[in-house]
Every structure is written in C-alpha cells, then in structure tokens.
Amino acid sequence: MDLQLPGWLADFFGRLLGGYDAEEARKRLPAEIRGDGPAPASLRRRALRHVDAELRRSGLVYGSPKLPSRVAQGARLDRAEALFFAVLSGKCFIALDIARLHGVPFEPQRSEASLAMLLAAGAGRADLADEIHALVSMGQPAFGDGRLLARLEQALIDAIAPATGDAILDLLLHNATSFAEARVIGRLAIAWYGEEHFDPAEASRLLAAAARERAQCLGALSTIAAPRGGLRERGRRALGKELRKLRLGRDLERQVRVSFTLPASPEELAGRIRTRTMRRFLVEQLYLANMLEGREGSPLLDGLASRLDFGRADRDALEAQVADYFYDPSDVFDAFELRAVGQASSELLVDRIAREVQLNVDRIALEVKETGELTQLLAKAAMGQKLTAEERAKAREQLIDLAKVVPSLAIIAAPGGMLIFAALLKVLPFSLLPSSFQKRPEDDAPLRPAAVQPRPRQRRVPRRS
C-alpha cells in the first residue's frame, strides 16, 4: 500500500475485509451495547454510546490508534503512512460495528461500498459520498471505472492534518481531525445501517455542525499552547490551513483567527464550547499534552476543567480511561511517542489503586473468593498467561461489580477495569488462587540440568559420481 500509487484504497479494503469475521466482531461488542439483559436502551442510544466509547478504546482520541497486522502485513510503512492507515482502520471498524449492531449481513463487496461512502462523507465530501451511493443503489460497483476511486483517495489524503514541527500541537491537531471525522462517520453509519438511507442534506448538516465544533477546538489549541510560549508562525499557518478547509461563516472564522494571536481565556472557552462531548475531548487533550510533557497537572488544566464542569470524579474517570488504554497496549502505532509516558502514568495509577485495595483487602478478598470466574482469570494472569479479548471483557464486567465494595474504586471501575485487575494481582494473597494454580515446593527447587546424551555418529553417504 503506497499512498503515492493509485489503487491503494482498494488494496486497503481488501486487507481489512479479507480477514474480517462478522460473528466474532459482534461477540466482542459489550453486552450492554448488544442489548443483552433486562430493559436495554434503544438501539440508537446504544449505537451512539458505542461510537463514543470506541473513539477511546481504539485510541483515535489519544493519537495512538491500533494498526491491525492484517492491514500492515509486515510491510515497512513510514511513520506518516502507518498512522494514516491506523486511523483509517479505526474509522472503518466503528462503521462495521454499527452494521453488526443493526444485524446487517456481512457481504464484502457491499461493505466496501458502504465504507467508501461513509469515509467520503467523513472527509467532508458529501457530494462524493452521494455519487458512490447512487452507484451502489443501482447495483453497480462502488468505484465505477476507477476515476471515482482516485477522487476518494485524494479526498482522504487532503483531509490529513498538516505537521507543525511542535510535537504536542501536532498530536492535538491530529486528534481533533480524527475525532471530528470519526464522529460524523459513526452518526451517518447509524442512519445508513439502521434505515438503509443516505441523505446528502443530513450529511451536510452533520459536517457543518462538526466544522463549527472543530473550529472552536482549533481556537482552543492556542490557549493550550499559551503556557509554552504560544503558537509559533508555522503553527499558526497550520491552524489557518485547517480553518480554511472548514468553510465557515465570516464571523466565526474571524473569531477563531483572532484567537491564534490572542488566546481565549478558560472562561471564554467555556462559553464557546458548550456540548459535553467537546468539553470532555478538550480536557482529554490537555491531559495528554501534560502527560507528554511529563506533568501530572497544570493550572490551565485545573482551571479549564473546573470551568467546563469537570469535577474531580470526572477527571479521575478520564485519567483512568487513558491509563487503561496505555497499560497493556497491543497493535498500537505510537506515532507521537506516547506509549512510554502513558505506561508510566498507568503504573502510578495502579500503585494508587493498590493502596486502596490494601486498605480494604479483607472485604475485597471475600468478594473475589465468591466470584469463581474472576478468581480463575486472576490466577491465569498471575501465572503470566495473556488473557483473551473475551476473558478481558468478562473480567472487566466482574470488576465493575467488585469495585462497588470500595466506593473510591467505583469511579474508575468502568473505564479502568483492567487497572483494578493489575492492582489485585499486586495486593491479594497468593493463597486466593485455586490449588491447581498454586506453586508446589518443588517448583522453587533449582532445576537440575538434563544429562547431555552423546550425539550418534552419522554415517557418511558417499557421493555418486
């Protein structure tokens, strides 16, 4: 897959969908998202909730998305290409999950066409998405004679956020772009797979709303950069380029441009960014910026979080979710070198949780003993065996119930369940494990090297002349 060569998108779809198992994908969805259990929420509400959760579980919001091995296939992609395909994969998996949630049968050719249409809309090209939809509706291949494919490829490349040379600004600018596009794709996927209907006007409305939110986010980046000396000229040019892509009204564009030079105060940002979703995203990005700089907090983070109505409990939950993602990452493409600092932050949080567990060890130990399956999973992990995705999901669900025993842990149970799992392994006595997992005295005895048997002499086979 070379972005410089035509046809790379068709190659990408072939790799992504070639190893896709629709049944397994549905099983991996959380039980509450599938609607299992009594009184489930409406399908639309569950789908919206899943889009929001998947933006974080996939790492799209953190700038460290997962790059599936079947997409890379061992190829030596450069940093920019690997990040591009990791983000593209994350967006596609969100749409595919919505299809599974709605019970849509998986057909590779139709899935490819649907993904192409949704990606075009997410990149701001509702017109291109409508053309693809028209071909699909008539039963024709999504890309026709290939010219449509080339236009979509170019649209996806044009949507890439520019680099500024400032690691933190590049991270936040990239995340803002990925977040906005993935949310549009998720919402359009809910309408498409739920009603089999694509409305270009609705797509345009969603894009316009996303553009306004994204513009305010661009303005907020200058506020985040202010304590570090403000935006440099290259950074202002990059933000200006992104702003032009959004095609905003004059008043809003002027307001955002002014903020590039005169950063808005936390009070002003709170007045401009009103949705809970965008407020949370902004606090997350400021938290990531602090983490990348090796700081646990800052006056700006404290002041902005307070004015955006993010209390201590909200920030604890946010911190736990970020830490949970970086604690044991797999298939993560670390484009912005966040993994090391993310894992360090995760370990600090695990130690903090472990202290809480230690203070309540008797109550927690009793609960663990009564939960047979969780005990087995703890035992497996204690012996160094890696849990499967299904086992991790089971452990997380049971840890949420377990955390209710200790109110201080309940805050981080849902987003950071596996951190509690790690803390339990540190604190709980080994005697809690089933006998089949406990060490025997002879296990600690030094191993006696096996006797070396003499190698039998091999008969030389004469060469034939």
Q: Which tens digits make up the pLDDT trace of 63-95?
A: 888 888 888 887 778 888 889 999 999 999 999
pLDDT at 12 over 90: yes
Tell me what pLDDT residue 3 has: 87
Tens of pLDDT, residue by residue over 203-214, are 999 999 999 988
Q: Six-digit token pair at 407?
A: 């109110």
48 alpha-carbon distance from chain centroid: 15
pLDDT at 326 over 90: no
Residue with tokens 């933006």: 55
pTM here is 0.80
Residue with tokens 């992990």: 381
151 confidence band (pLDDT: 50, 70, 90): very high
d(C-alpha 83, C-alpha 3), whole Å: 12
Tell me what pLDDT residue 92 has: 97
CB atoms within 10 A of CB 458: 6
pLDDT at 437 over 50: no
Tell me what pLDDT residue 361 has: 78
463 confidence band (pLDDT: 50, 70, 90): very low
**Are residues 317 and 56 in contact, defined by beta-carbon separation less than 8 angstroms?**
no
* Segment 305-309 mean pLDDT: 90
d(C-alpha 323, C-alpha 316), whole Å: 10
Percentage with pLDDT > 90 across the chain: 27
pLDDT at 465 over 50: no
Exposure class string for 198-218: b at 16+ Cβ within 10 A, else e: bbeeebbebbeebbbbbbbbb
d(C-alpha 192, C-alpha 194), whole Å: 6
Angle between helices 276-292 and 339-359 (to 10 degrees): 100
Sign of the Cα pseudo-torsion (354, 356, 362, 363, in order): negative
Mean per-residue pLDDT of the chain: 82
pLDDT at 435 over 50: no
Tell me what pLDDT residue 452 has: 36
* Segment 224-244 mean pLDDT: 85
Burial of 262 per CB tally in 10 Å (0-12, 13-18, 19+):
exposed
> At residue 148, what is the residue type?
L
Tens of pLDDT, residue by residue over 352-382, are 888 878 887 777 777 777 777 777 887 787 7
Q: Which of 27-31, 139-143, 391-395 has the lowest mean pLDDT?
A: 139-143
Q: Which of 104-113, 172-181, 201-210, 370-379 has the lowest mean pLDDT?
A: 370-379
**Are residues 287 and 322 in contact, defined by beta-carbon separation less than 8 angstroms?**
yes
Tens of pLDDT, residue by residue over 41-59, are 999 999 999 999 999 988 8
Q: Which DSSP helix (H) or strand (E) runs through 390?
A: helix 389-403
Tell me what pLDDT residue 417 has: 63
Tell me what pLDDT residue 153 has: 95
pLDDT at 101 over 90: yes
Tell me what pLDDT residue 247 has: 84
Extents of the domains making up the chain: 8-344, 349-435
d(C-alpha 29, C-alpha 93), whole Å: 12
Burial of 110 per CB tally in 10 Å (0-12, 13-18, 19+):
middle
Nearest in space to 326 (alpha carbons), one of 59, 141, 118: 59
Residue length, the chain?
465
pLDDT at 276 over 50: yes
* Segment 13-31 mean pLDDT: 92
